[in-house]
Structure 1
Amino acid sequence: MIRHLVLFRLNEGVERDDPRVVKGVEAFRSLEGRIPEILSWECAWNVSDRPIAYDFVINSAFEDARALHRYVEHPEHRAGVALWREFATWVIADYEF
């Protein structure tokens, strides 16, 4: 199994209620059940206000690296990524468990 973690940081001056952000969150929240490779899916706003904290997180699981790759290349995932590129940066970590 592969755990796929993504931590997003909104760009300077971008707020959670920005219409672009709202649309981006909706795009990622809608992926569960739409992409068959996703075995588990959580995404939410970070509740920590610490200065080093990121703003939004995706925590997901996939059967193996091939399934993760199919997810990454899926058109709906790519469309969500394109939205987030407009207002955020992110880091990822993928690990076996």
Structure 2
Amino acid sequence: MIRHLVLFKLNEGVAKDEPRVLAGVEAFQALGKQIDELRAWECGWNITVRDIAYDFAINSLVDDPAALQAYLAHPAHQAGVALWREFATWVVADIEV
């Protein structure tokens, strides 16, 4: 199994209640039901307020590298990424569990 973790940081001046951010969150919230390769899917806003904290996180689980690639290439995932690219940066970690 592979745990796919992503931490998002909103760009300077971007508020989490902006319509484009809300659309990005909605797109990611829906992925768990849209992509068969996902065994587990969680996402949400970070509740920690610290200078080093990221703003939004995804925690997901897939079976293997092929499933991870299928998830990454899925049109719904690509559409969500395109939205987030407009207002955030992110870091990714994929770990075997």
Specify if TM > 0.5: yes
Question: 2:43 maps to which residue?
Answer: 43
Q: Secondary structure at the match of 2:31?
A: coil
What is the Cα deviation at residue 82 of structure 1? 0.1
Question: 1:76 maps to which residue?
Answer: 76
What is the number of residues matched between the two proteins?
Answer: 97
Q: Deviations over 1:18-66 (max 9, x none)?
A: 1000000000000112100000000010000010000000000000010
| Structure number with higher helix proportion | 2
**Stretches of 4+ aligned residues off by more than 6 angstroms:** none
Query: Where in structure 1 are there 5+ consecutive unaligned residues?
Result: none
Question: 1:25 maps to which residue?
Answer: 25
Per the normalisation by structure 2, the TM-score is 0.99
Query: Where in structure 2 are there 5+ consecutive unaligned residues?
Result: none
Cα RMSD of the aligned pairs, angstroms, is: 0.3
- Matched-pair identity in %: 64
